[in-house]
Amino acid sequence: MTALENAPAGHPIVVGGVSLGAHVAARWAAANPDRCAGLVLALPAWTGSPDGAPAALAAKASAQVVATRGLEAALAGTTGWLREELGRAWRGYGDLLVPHLEEAAESSAPTLEELRSLDVPVGILGCTDDPVHPIEVARQWAEALPRAVLVTTTLDAYPHALGRAVQAWRQAC
C-alpha cells in the first residue's frame, strides 16, 4: 500500500494487482476515489473477512511449511508456470516471506459496499478452475462494481491472461 500512497497525486492513475494485490488495489481505490482512474484486478480471493477463504488457508499453510520445512518444500506441490511465479516472487521476500504470508491470510479484502462505491472502469480476470481463487468471488466483485467487465481464463492459460484483464478494463471505459 505504501507505493500507492506515495504515487504522484497530479492525476488519477490506473492500479491493479493479482490475488492479494487485487484486494490492496481495490481498497486503495475506495479510500482514494479522486486518485483512481481505473482498476485491473486478477484473481480476487475473497470479499471482506478472510475467514475460511481457500486462499487465506493456503497462505497460512504455506507460511507454516516455509517456516518448518523451507521454501522448496512449500513449492513442491506446484508445477509449471505457477511454480516459476511463486518461486520468483517468494524468493524476493527472503526472511520476510513467512510474516507476509501470515499477514496476507489475515487481511481484509474490500467489502461489497466498498466495491459498489467505485465508479471507475474495472477489468476483472477470474479463473474458472482455480480452487484457491474461486470464480464466484470474481463474479461477485464484477456484479458489485458499477463499471466492471469480467473475463475468465483457466489455470493452463493464465500466464497469458493478464492482457485480457487490461482489455476488459478498456471495454469498461
Residue-wise pLDDT for 90-135, tens only, equals 999 999 999 999 999 999 999 999 999 999 999 999 999 999 999 9
Return d(Cα 46, Cα 19) in angstroms, integer: 9
Integer Cα distance of 102 and 108 in angstroms: 12
Of 41-45, 66-70, 85-89, the one with minimum mean pLDDT is: 85-89
Supply the mean pLDDT for the chain. Answer: 92
Average pLDDT rounded to a whole number, residues 2-17: 74
Are 135 and 155 in contact by the 8 Å Cβ rule? The answer is no
Using an 8 Å Cβ cutoff, are 129 and 154 in contact? yes
CATH superfamily for 14-49+109-172 is: Alpha/Beta hydrolase fold, catalytic domain (3.40.50.1820)
Residue 1 predicted with pLDDT over 50: no
Whether the predicted pLDDT of 5 surpasses 70: no
Q: In the chain, where are the structural domains located?
A: 14-49+109-172, 54-106
User: Do 124 and 149 meet the contact criterion of CB atoms below 8 Å apart?
Assistant: yes
Q: What is the spatial distance between Cα 19 and Cα 123, in angstroms, rounded to a whole number?
A: 14
Q: What is the mean pLDDT of residues 165-173?
A: 91
Higher pLDDT, 8 or 90: 90
Q: Is the pLDDT of residue 63 over 90?
A: yes
pTM of the complete model: 0.88
What is the predicted pLDDT for the residue at 158?
Answer: 77
Is the pLDDT confidence value at 53 over 90?
Answer: yes
Alpha-carbon torsion 117, 147, 161, 5, what sign?
negative
Phi first, then psi: what are they for 127, rounded to 5°? -110, 125
What is the pLDDT confidence band of residue 161, given thresholds at 50, 70 and 90? confident
Average pLDDT over residues 10-27: 92
pLDDT number for residue 4 = 56
Report which of residues 137 and 7 the model is more confident about: 137
Q: What are residue 76's phi and psi, to 5 degrees?
A: -60, -30
Indicate whether 81 pLDDT > 90. Answer: no
Which cell numbers hold the place of 23?
Answer: 484486494
> Is 70 exceeded by the pLDDT of residue 9?
no
Q: Hey, what's the cell of 90? A: 517468494
